[in-house]
Amino acid sequence: MPKRRQATSITATALALALLPLAPGAAGEADLTLRDSAPQGFHIGSSVAGGGHLDAEDHPDPFTHDKAYTALLGQEFDSLTPENRMKWSELRPSEDTYDFSLADRIVEFAARKDQEVRGHALLWHQQNPDWLEEGDYSEQELRQILHEHVTTVVGRYKGRIHQWDVGNELIDDDSRLRTEENIWLRELGPEVISDVFRWAHAADPEAELFLNDYSIEDVNDKSDAYLDLVRELLADGVPVHGLSVQAHLTPAAGYPESMEENLDRFGDLGLRTALSEVDVRVETSGEGDGGTEEQLSEQADFYARALQACLNADSCTSFTVWGYTDRYSWIPSTFPGKGAGAIMDDDLKPKPAYGALRETLRSSG
């Protein structure tokens, strides 16, 4: 359903309001959560922390152990994406087995909280199990393994996963298909992309099937390459329904000014779009440095502008943050010298970016 739209730019008042400190306990609209502030038909999401980089850190699984963390996930968001729990490395301990335990918990929680789920991810060059990457399989066997995985995983969550990131990061920084790094493209050829979309569609005809990548916020060579890929897939009748832009942003790289125009050109092809992994990392001096006031205000501005671009684009119906809290963020361990990229701090307290998102949602609703 298309969302209602009114505002086309962030007003000065909205930003000023956003930067005011929150007044906890004060009655009225200041108490609204993000999900309650969103216009009808628009989803505001978060990834669900667990696995991946957190395995190397010193705390138990956030989603199943950190009650305050999980409570806010339910209150603030109406869409969830498992950060790692639906990746091959997590679901497939061996060729013959599946472990759905933690993925199931997320999907069940989402149903209780009336949230949508974005499934992530089916065809990727990272976080694949060693038995797969290092196994000695024939082309036919690999095809069979992939077909069985997609059919089993998408089929298991039929009707409960709204959108799937089917192809993840299929194109590299030189705007070419990852025909070496990605085991599936390398061993089975680029035609496998169409197959996987078709298999996923057969397993759940209602699920919206996406391509997802980073550095495609702007109109640029890489997003041009996606435009070509999407056109080809559509011309072949492949059930591709959406393009999601990760949006791992940083002021150091500048704001991607042509985001709305870019989303629109995919919308014009009939695709749905989404911002799927938004965060805004800043330079920090190490653990415990939550960023200066100036950094956090610039960060709030980036978050609000990205959200506004999505709200403005008719095709863009969800905005998902990649970790709503700095407590569990993947940024410090992935980008040395960077951190504090989330909308809540280590103590789960809202940062200026939280208020900026809420005001942007409210002023467009």
Of 266 and 328, which has the nearer Cβ to ligand XIL? 328
Neighbours of 269 (CB within 10 A): 13
> Which listed residue (37, 168, 215, 295) binds ligand XIL by CB under 6 A?
168
The binder of ligand XIL chosen from 37, 46, 79, 84 (CB under 6 A): 84
Q: Which of residues 221-250 bind ligand XIL (CB under 6 A)?
A: 246
Cα gap 96→66, rounded to integer Å: 32
Nearer of residues 87 and 362 to ligand XIL, judged by Cβ: 87
Query: Which positions from 296 to 335 touch ligand XIL by CB under 6 A, shown as an x/- string?
Result: ----------------------------------x-----
3-state helix, strand, coil in the chain (%, to 5): 45, 15, 40
261 is catalytic: no
C-alpha 248/C-alpha 279 separation (Å) is 5
What φ, ψ does residue 325 adopt, rounded to 5°? -130, 145
Closest distance to ligand XIL from the beta carbon of 53 (Å): 4
81 part of the interface to ligand XIL, by CB under 6 A: no
Query: Does 187 participate in catalysis according to the annotation?
Result: no
Nearest residue (CB) to ligand XIL, 303 versus 330: 330
Closest to ligand XIL by CB, 3 vs 87, is: 87
For residues 331 and 338, the answer to whether their CB atoms sit within 8 Å is yes
Angle between helices 192-203 and 139-156 (to 10 degrees): 30
Would you say 208 or 279 has its CB closer to ligand XIL? 279
Q: What is d(CA 243, CA 313) in angstroms, rounded to the nearest whole number?
A: 13
The active-site residue out of 116, 260, 277, 359 is 277
Gap between the terminal Cα atoms of the chain: 15
CB of 331 closer than 8 Å to CB of 339? yes
**Closest among 147, 56, 65, 146 to 102, alpha carbons compared:** 65
Report strand pairing: 116-123 vs 316-321.
Answer: unpaired
Q: Does 262 bind ligand XIL (CB under 6 A)?
A: no
CB within 8 A of 67, min separation 6: which ones? none
Q: Which residue is nearest to ligand XIL (CB)?
A: 52
DSSP-derived letter for residue 159 is T
Letters for 38-77 (x = contact with ligand XIL by CB under 6 A, - = none) are --------------xx------------------------
CB of 298 to ligand XIL, least distance (A): 22
Among 76, 78, 83, 217, which residue interacts with ligand XIL (rule: CB under 6 A)?
Answer: 83
**Contact set with ligand XIL (CB under 6 A):** 52-53, 83-84, 168, 246, 277, 330
Q: Which residues are catalytic?
A: 169, 277
